[in-house]
Amino acid sequence: MNQDLKSATDAILQRVTTGAARVPGVVAMATDRQGTIYEGAAGQRVLGQDAAMTTDSVFAIFSTTKAITGTAILQLVEEGRLDLDAPASTYAPDIARVQVLEGFDAAGKPILRAPKRAITTRMLMLHTAGFGYEFFSDKLRDYAAATGQASVVTSTKAALSAPLLFDPGEDWDYGINIDWCGQVVEGLRGRRLGEVMAERIFAPLGMSETSFTLTPALRARLARIHQRGADGGLTPLDFELPAEPEVHMGGHGLYATVGDYCRFIRMWLNDGAGAHGRVLKPETVRMAERNGLGEKKIRMLPGVIPALSNDAEFFPGLSKSWAYTFMVNDEPAPTGRPVGALGWAGLANLFYWIDRQNGLGGFWATQIFPFGDPVSFTGYMEFETAVYQHAVAKLAA
């Protein structure tokens, strides 16, 4: 391990887990194409309890699940079994019943209509199908209040019936699209999404501690989600994603260790090759890392349920696009992340990036609501910056 990188990053982890403005605990790892170049943990799994956060702690990884589901979709495309531009209902029939939310009448009743065109899997991968999230959309928040629409975090079939915010293909908005991609995978494979991932992604990568099911072995090392209060304090929550979910939600449902996720990052750094077998073809990886939105750009996500999310945006003022299924930097980031690098995040303040140009990536894991926590996010930005300051210089040498 690069000792300069270790000392710089250990100091970041210690700082963010101490003092008045702190996170409960954090695990951070960085990797190059060959293996882990930094790993560290600090703080506690649960505030008020003795268990220290360790590098093998288990996290609900929320939307960092999306890229793994996207990989399962890309495998089907490689096999010629999935046409990205065919109606997604060909593979997941229930999606044909989804309607567009036009607004609300004078009595507050939702006004719904049929979409103008069919949703395709390409639209789902690019978040242009029209789906949103209730915590990033006042219309969907109000729809849920008016109808009792199940929240996506229930991991139920009912949660998938949420309406569209616009007609398919006409805009970009971040939402439950990749949960529906999971249904496409299940429709084509005839198996649950987690079983498909275990065989076709986790086994070739050696990801033995990633699952939609919270097993007793994983629970024993689980970090609890905490709520950040208005006064900046932290309270452990009883909230968990379902241990045995009705639906394997491809957009947010996995539990994992940070080490396992870095194995996934390394596969993308290595043109689709894993430690125990190939996951994607190199040409698929090159296709998937490109902007798929054309001139459309992603934008700030407004936090309309303050307990779950603040307003959130990576690198405000810089242009960002979307690939299959990552954010893509159109401009160099102040951390050192170059044009074309990939990345995204998870609701409980988990963050990662994949820089195929420099052969670097990393993952920062905390368990805090609301999303966009300033302490965790600032710590992550400092972590990524430290990796570039110390690791890129070593690579160049």
Q: Which residues are catalytic?
A: 63, 66, 174
Q: In which region does residue 19 sit, left (phi positive, over 0), alpha (psi from -120 to 50) or beta (all else)? A: left
Question: One-letter amino acid identity for 17?
Answer: T
Write out the two tokens for 176.
């439950």
Instruction: For residue 288, report the phi and psi dihedrals to the nearest 5 degrees.
Output: -70, -25
> Residue written as tokens 């609301």?
370
Residue 342 burial (10 A CB sphere; 0-12, 13-18, 19+)? buried
State the Cα–Cα distance between residues 3 and 238, nearest whole angstrom: 38
Question: What DSSP string describes 123-166?
Answer: HHHHT-SS---TTT-HHHHHHHHHH-PPPGGG--GGGGGPPBSS
Residues 6+ apart with CB under 8 A from 39: 27, 28, 29, 30, 55, 258, 259
Give 127: exposed, middle or buried? Use CB within 10 Å, 0-12, 13-18, 19+: buried
Q: How many C-beta atoms surround the C-beta of residue 356 within 10 A? A: 19
Distance CA 228, CA 272 (A): 38
Alpha carbons 234 and 242: distance in angstroms, whole number: 23
